[in-house]
Amino acid sequence: MSARAIASATVSFGLVSIPVKIYSSGESSAGIRFNMLHKKCGSRLKQQYICPKDDEIVSRSDISKGYEFAKGQYVMFSDDELKALQERATHALEITEFLPTAKVDPIYFEKSYYLGPDKGGDRAYKLLAQALRKSGRSAIAKYAARGKQYLVLLRPMKDALVMQQLRYADEIRSISEVPLGDAKVKAGELKLALQIVDQAISDTFRPEGYEDEVRQRILAQIERKVEGQEITLEAEEEPKAQVIDLMQALKSSLARKAGDRKPAKRSPGGAKSAASRKVSGKRAKSSGR
Residue 282 reports pLDDT greater than 80: no
Q: What percent of the chain is helix, strand and coil (3-state, nearest 5)? A: 30, 30, 40
Residues 71-118: pLDDT tens digits?
989 998 888 888 777 766 678 899 999 999 899 999 999 999 999 999
**One-letter identity of residue 61:** S
pLDDT band at 269 (very low <50, low <70, confident <90, very high): very low
Angstrom distance (rounded) from CA 21 to CA 170? 29
Residues 202-250: pLDDT tens digits?
888 888 888 888 888 888 888 888 888 888 777 777 666 565 688 888 8
Angstrom distance (rounded) from CA 65 to CA 61? 12
- Residue 105: how many CA atoms within 13 Å on its side-chain side? 8
Residues 18-64: pLDDT tens digits?
999 999 988 765 567 888 999 999 999 988 899 988 999 998 889 99
Mean pLDDT of the chain: 83
Quick one: which H or E segment has residue 226? helix 213-226
Give the domains, in start order, of the chain with CATH numbers. 7-26+86-171 (2.40.290.10), 187-201+211-234+242-287 (no CATH)
Instruction: Using DSSP, state whether 92 is helix, strand or coil.
Output: strand
158: Cβ–Cβ under 8 A, 6 or more apart, which residues? 129, 133
